[in-house]
């Protein structure tokens, strides 16, 4: 361990944990909400306030892997199957996703985005493209070495979940 006292380490660890928790659980902020409202149809416009960023991420995954089984989605996200199932049920109620079975096989539940779900996924992809450009601009103030330290740190934090 580098030269850092326990009190400072505890303070910084708490601050970092708080920031990561905020990032992970963030709601759709007013600016993002406004962007989606400006770029979406009236059907989708009213739904955006009922969703979180993780909801949009999962809707986009469903769009990228059409006709996926509900149980397959966990391999594309860090969300557990029980949570994925709850999220999908929410999407069904909001009219973003349709569930169906193939033939007589009632064991496997397949998913398909509705027109509104597809629109939302496409908007989300565009929103990420725009934000990626903003992030590159913000990151240009740092050296490659600085960014590598941050990337290594985040990788270590993410590895803690698997331990």
Give the separation between CA 160 and CA 66, rounded to whole angstroms.
32
Query: Does a structural domain hold residue 101?
Result: yes
Residue 116: name the closest of 45, 17, 24, 19 by CA.
45
Whether the per-residue pLDDT at 70 is higher than 80: the answer is yes
Query: Does a structural domain hold residue 82?
Result: yes
The full length of the chain comes to 163
Q: How confident is the model at residue 26 (pLDDT cuts 50, 70, 90)?
A: low
| β-strand partners of 102 | 105
Parent domain of 141: 28-160
Residue 96 burial (CB count, 10 A): 25
Query: Does a structural domain hold residue 87?
Result: yes
Query: Does a structural domain hold residue 60?
Result: yes
Query: Does a structural domain hold residue 17?
Result: no
Whether the per-residue pLDDT at 19 is higher than 80: the answer is no
pTM: 0.76
Query: Does a structural domain hold residue 4?
Result: no
Residue 69: name the closest of 108, 122, 105 by CA.
108
User: Taking a C-beta distance cutoff of 8 angstroms, is the pair 49, 33 a contact?
Assistant: yes
CATH number at residue 76: 1.10.10.10
The count of domains in the chain is 1
Query: What does the pLDDT read at residue 121?
Result: 96
Give the alpha-carbon dihedral of 136, 74, 104, 118, to 10 degrees: -20
Q: How confident is the model at residue 27 (pLDDT cuts 50, 70, 90)?
A: low
3-state SS assignment for residue 106: strand
Give the separation between CA 157 and CA 151, rounded to whole angstroms.
10
Percentage of residues in the chain with pLDDT exceeding 70? 93
Query: Does a structural domain hold residue 13?
Result: no
Query: Does a structural domain hold residue 7?
Result: no
pLDDT tens per residue across span 72-126: 888 888 788 899 999 999 999 999 999 998 888 888 888 999 999 999 999 999 9
């Amino acid at each position: 361990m580098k030269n850092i006292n326990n009190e400072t380490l505890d303070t910084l660890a708490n601050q970092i944990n708080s920031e990561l928790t905020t990032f992970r659980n963030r709601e759709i902020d007013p600016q993002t909400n406004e962007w989606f409202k400006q770029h979406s149809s009236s059907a989708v416009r009213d739904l955006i306030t009922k969703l979180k960023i993780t909801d949009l991420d999962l809707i986009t995954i469903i769009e990228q892997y059409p006709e996926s089984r509900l149980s397959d989605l966990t391999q594309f996200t860090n969300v557990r199957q029980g949570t994925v199932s709850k999220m999908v049920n929410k999407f069904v109620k909001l009219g973003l996703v349709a569930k169906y079975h193939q033939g007589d096989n009632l064991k496997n539940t397949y998913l398909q985005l509705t027109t509104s779900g597809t629109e939302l996924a496409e908007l989300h992809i565009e929103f990420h493209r725009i934000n990626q450009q903003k992030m590159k601009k913000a990151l240009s103030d740092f050296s490659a070495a600085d960014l590598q330290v941050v990337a290594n740190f985040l990788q270590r934090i993410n590895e803690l979940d698997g331990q």
